[in-house]
Chain A
Amino acid sequence: KAGVTQTPRYLIKTRGQQVTLSCSPISGHRSVSWYQQTPGQGLQFLFEYFSETQRNKGNFPGRFSGRQFSNSRSEMNVSTLELGDSALYLCASSFVGQGSGNTEAFFGQGTRLTVV
């Protein structure tokens, strides 16, 4: 069973540009969550998508957005990049079904974004 795939693994962008990151969840998983990891702030929740709908959102500015496609693949977009957006962006996929009781999340290897 293939794991969570995030592409690209590394990105270097210039301030003011925008970037799109991709996440392919484990087959059958309908929930995809995104987290930002930085040395200063640790792991912070960005948003979660379930069946193409944003279900939860963290405390990030509107420059951070996402979407989920019918095949559960998800993308996140950051517009007008700032130096502080440099981070490891992690995607997690979960099977969250009614009564499934399954809380486990599987993480991808992340995309390392560097803004210069």
Chain B
Amino acid sequence: AQSVTQLGSHVSVSEGALVLLRCNYSSSVPPYLFWYVQYPNQGLQLLLKYTSAATLVKGINGFEAEFKKSETSFHLTKPSAHMSDAAEYFCAVMPQYGQNFVFGPGTRLSVLP
């Protein structure tokens, strides 16, 4: 079964510093890959998705992610953290088109002033 790992349940960065949130998936066949963000008491909001087009995917709020098949990774980055980026981030895979998401455990991002 497909699985997703996110290294680090909690990541803290200073405002203005680089954000790097890690995601690895288990499949040997590249699935569809997503990053979602969740603010307290809210649902999930899509940040970006990879669907076998460009390997570097740009999303909203200055986030981007790079798909690396050889490393089965889809790490999320942002050059400069903002206080408003503090939230929980979930990496998800959709093994095949139309199937349900398999989510990673999430990484809580704290941004320090």
Contact = CB atoms under 8 A, between A and B. Distances in A.
Interface of A: 4, 6, 31, 33, 35, 42-45, 48, 56, 58, 90, 92, 96, 101, 103-110, 112
Contact of B103 (A4, A6, A43, A109): A43
Contacts of A44: 103
A35 B105 CA distance: 14
B18 interface: no
Contact of A109 (B42, B90, B99, B100): B42
B100 A42 contact: no
Contacts of A106: 46
Nearest 9 A-B pairs (CB), nearest first? A107-B43, A43-B103, A107-B44, A45-B100, A109-B43, A42-B105, A103-B32, A108-B43, A56-B100
Contacts of B106: 42-43
Interface residues of B, number: 23
Interface in B65-102: 90, 94, 97-102
Interface of B: 32, 34, 36, 41-46, 49, 51, 90, 94, 97-106
A105 B43 contact: no
A90 B43 contact: yes
A42 B106 CA distance: 8
Contacts of B34: 103
B43 A4 contact: yes
Contacts of A58: 100
Contact of B101 (A6, A105, A108): A105
Nearest to A109: B43
A56 B49 contact: no
Contact of A103 (B43, B97, B102, B103): B97
A48 B100 contact: yes
Q: Interface centre among A4, A58, A96, A107, by most B CB within 10 Å?
A: A107
Given A96-B98, A107-B45, A101 B90 contact: no
Given A103-B94, A110-B42, 5 more contacts: A33-B101, A43-B106, A104-B46, A107-B45, A108-B43
B106 to A, nearest CB: 6
